[in-house]
Amino acid sequence: MRKTGLLNTAIIKEISAIGHTQYLIIGDAGLPIPKDTLLIDLALKSGVPSFLETAEAVLDEMVVEHCYLADEIKEKNKKLNTEIGKLTENIACDYIMHEELKKMSEYARVIIRTGETSPFANIVLVAGVNF
């Protein structure tokens, strides 16, 4: 057993296997999952686990060089947008339209589904390298 950090074996496996520039998406409970995309479904009930809990755990383990958020989060979920900004302060992030973010999910290596039910609680993480 690991001493600290992420304990979910499926997520650890995917972070270990992800390649430079591949996408890992953390999504809310309503994000559509493309048919052939690997899904790690953590959703237990509404709000559990939260998007922020999940994002923090993943970001503690994964090298991320860039991220994308839905532009709509700036108006529809200001509080979460602020909290995400704190988590990603050292990562270059761009805002794109939510429809474009959903299209990016078709190219994701994996999507982690949370129990989050607040609007536009989705992030595309672009894998970096540690060298």
The dihedral built from the CA positions of residue 91, 92, 95 and 99, taken in this order, carries a sign that is: negative
Q: Where are the extended beta strands (E) located within the chain?
A: 23-27, 38-41, 64-70, 92-96, 108-113, 123-127
Residue 120 among known ligand-binding residues: yes
* Structure-block tokens of residue 125: 């993480």
Residue 122 among known ligand-binding residues: yes
- From the candidates 20, 74, 78, 103, give the one annotated as an active-site residue: 20
| Active-site residue flag, 66 | no
Distance CA 125, CA 86 (A): 15
Residue 28 among known ligand-binding residues: yes
Instruction: Kindly list the catalytic residues.
Output: 20
Annotated binding site for substrate: 28, 98, 120-122
Annotated binding site: 28, 98, 120-122
